């Protein structure tokens, strides 16, 4: 019951830029929400494809809207980001 799909939707995902100076890169990904996780997959019209990542719901600290400096095209009209709970260690 924990892995029952609540929502499955195609979304545009912005890549995590490893370099400070690089163009934004958006790719269509299939996002799947269950009671325990939010996972995303390479999108293939024939099948779900390879899982690219997953976030445990219990580790999500907040999800918030991203304000863009310029108007977004329709496919990126409602941008959001997910922040995970981080543990800081002090030695």
Q: Rounded distance, CA 61 to CA 65, Å?
A: 14
The residue among 51, 18, 50, 37 whose CA lies nearest residue 84 is: 37
Closest by Cα among 8, 15, 13, 50 to 41: 50
Q: Tell me, yes or no, if the pTM score tops 0.85.
A: no
What are the residues whose beta carbons fall under 8 Å from the beta carbon of 11, sequence distance 6 or more? Answer: 28, 29, 31, 40
pLDDT given at position 35: 93
DSSP 50: -
Compute CA 82 distance to the chain's CA centroid, rounded to the nearest angstrom.
7
Lowest-pLDDT range of 9-18, 38-47, 82-91:
82-91
Residue 79's pLDDT is 77
How confident is the model over 54-91, as pLDDT tens digits? 989 888 888 888 777 777 777 677 777 777 766 656 65
Domain 5-84: CATH class, spelled out: mainly beta
């Amino acid at each position: 019951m924990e892995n029952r799909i609540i929502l499955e939707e195609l979304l545009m995902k912005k890549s995590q830029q490893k370099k400070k100076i690089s163009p934004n890169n958006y790719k269509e990904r299939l996002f799947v929400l269950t009671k325990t996780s939010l996972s995303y997959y390479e999108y293939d019209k024939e099948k779900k494809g390879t899982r690219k990542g997953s976030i445990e719901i219990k580790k999500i600290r907040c999800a918030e809207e991203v304000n863009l400096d310029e108007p977004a095209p329709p496919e990126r009209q409602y941008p959001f980001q997910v922040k995970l709970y981080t543990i800081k260690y002090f030695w």
